[in-house]
Amino acid sequence: MNKTILIFRHEFFATIRRLGFIILTLALPVSALLSIGVSQLVSGIVKPATTVQTTSVGYVDEAGGFNQFTAEGDIRLMPYTTTDAALQAMVKGDIKDYFVIPSDYTTKGIIQNYTLEKQLSVPTDIQGAIKNFLSDNLMADKFPAATVQIIESPLNMVSTRLTETGAAAQDQGGVSDLVIPGIFSLLLVLSLIFSSTYVLQGLGEEKENRIMEILLSSVSPRQLITAKVLGIGLAGLLQVLLWAILLKPLLNLASSSIGGFISSVHIPANFLILGIVYFILGYLLFAVLCSCIAAVTGTIREAQGLASIFTLFSVAPFWFLSLLILFPSSPVWVVFSIFPFSAPVTMMLRFGMYGVPVWQIIVSLAVMALTIFGGLLLAAKLLRTYLLMYGKRPKPTEIIKNLKNA
């Protein structure tokens, strides 16, 4: 056991001293600070215009009665008695466009707009001003001004999430349902990939340099792999905890540049706890997988090529993120949440955005735990079987045959 602890301590301190580990740990918060600083610098240089430019648009009222509410925000509507007068004003530059309200407008609802510019469609601001102008005049004598304003305004709906008891839920969702899970899942993927890669490199180098033979003369393959996986895993866990601690201050700092809504984003405790659990299991899963690959490959380069195929499963949920947002209840996401290699990221995205039934979390964690246990036994057996194999990778049929005979 003392030798296992020595290997554990060696792997932990060797990992946190790695230049790549230090750069990755510091690169994300430093790059976030630089992005926030650049955004604040740009916003300070590019100041919003203090003067508002008014646009004049002419109209010819053939229907009659459209003579009020000619000021619609930054748009000024100028009445003309004939289309020729409006055309001359537009040619002179007195007005930008002009439109005609035909005598049958109240029955057909068609407005004809005229302009000298080549346009795909009438600009949104002018179109909105004309619409409000027409609506204001049509409803002026029928509804109070406050009612007219409500009719013309976009729907302003506030949604409140309730618990099963009818009380307002503590987590009301909103933008944080996409921001926090997305950022946290991305950090989770990065740490999982890099931490498990360190296991692959360590075993591969020791096997390629034949140091593995010396180590296995003192400890068993299972003790060696367990110590390496736990030592590097602890370093990765510290990395994730550091990012999680810095996430909230960085979001608060970014709120002044990106938008005030970010300052209201909070990380629920249950989300953070579940994220740490999935990181631990996800790391152990990928680390054990990398151990199996390192055991049966002859060179580090070959091992890294095979490992990259399996790590693609961890980022696969990001490829279909738009589908997850549109179809959160699809059975496909249940499968992704239980499949061990994609479970960490998929479950964190689903849990943060929409919530996940408890039974799915239990099944997902159980499947990952069983896969890790079986993988650890397999990795130890593969390492013992192919310890002295150098420069050659066995075929899958040979691996199965040797495992049966081992």
Residue-wise pLDDT tens digits, 95-140? 989 999 998 888 888 888 898 888 777 888 888 888 888 888 888 7
Region class of 51: left (phi > 0), else alpha (psi between -120 and 50), else beta: beta
Mean pLDDT to the nearest integer, 4-11 = 83
Q: Which of 87-101, 126-140, 183-197, 210-224 has the highest mean pLDDT?
A: 87-101
Do 202 and 283 belong together in one domain? yes
Long-range contacts of residues 360-369, Cβ cutoff 8 Å, at least 24 apart: 360/334, 361/274, 363/338, 364/337, 364/338, 365/277, 365/281, 367/338, 367/339, 367/340, 367/343, 368/281, 368/282, 368/285, 368/340, 368/343, 369/281
Examine residue 40 and state whether it is found in any structural domain, yes or no: no
pLDDT value at residue 79: 92
Whether residue 26 lies inside any domain: the answer is no
Structural domain includes residue 157 = no
Residues 180 and 141 in one domain: no
- 211 in the same domain as 333: yes
CATH label of the domain that carries residue 139: 3.40.190.10
Quick check: is 159 in a domain? no
Which helix (H) or strand (E) segment holds residue 128: the answer is helix 124-139
- The answer as to whether 109 is a domain residue is yes
Angle between helical axes of 358-385 and 343-353 (0-180°, round to 10) = 160
Token pair belonging to 127: 């179109």
370 shares a domain with 262: yes
- Give the contacts of 118 (CB within 8 A, at least 6 positions apart): none
The predicted model gives 306-333 an average pLDDT of 77
Among 276, 281, 291, 317, which residue's Cα sits nearest to residue 197? 291
Residues 89 and 218 in one domain: no
Alpha helices (runs of H) in 209-327, residue ranges in sequence order: 211-215, 221-258, 269-296, 300-319, 321-326
Residues 364 and 245 in one domain: yes
Say if residue 113 is in the same domain as residue 221.
no
344 phi, psi to nearest 5 deg: -55, -50
Q: Chain centroid to CA 48: how far?
A: 30
Q: Which among 165, 340, 193, 176 has a CA at the least distance from the CA of 247?
A: 176
Sign of CA dihedral 140, 144, 149, 154: negative
Are 365 and 255 contained in the same domain? yes
Per-residue pLDDT tens digits for 29-76: 888 788 777 776 766 665 555 555 788 999 999 988 888 888 888 889
CB 149 within 8 A of CB 317: no
What's the number of domains the chain is made of?
2
User: Considering the domain boundaries, does residue 165 fall inside one?
Assistant: no
Residues 334 and 236 in one domain: yes
DSSP label at residue 17: T
Residue 211 lies in a domain: yes
Question: What length is written for the chain?
Answer: 406
Residue 138 and residue 261 share a domain: no
Residues 398 and 352 occupy one common structural domain? yes
Q: Which domain holds residue 285?
A: 173-405
CA-based nearest residue to 337, from 291, 274, 287, 289? 274
Three-state DSSP class for residue 172: coil
Whether residue 258 sits in one domain with residue 218: yes
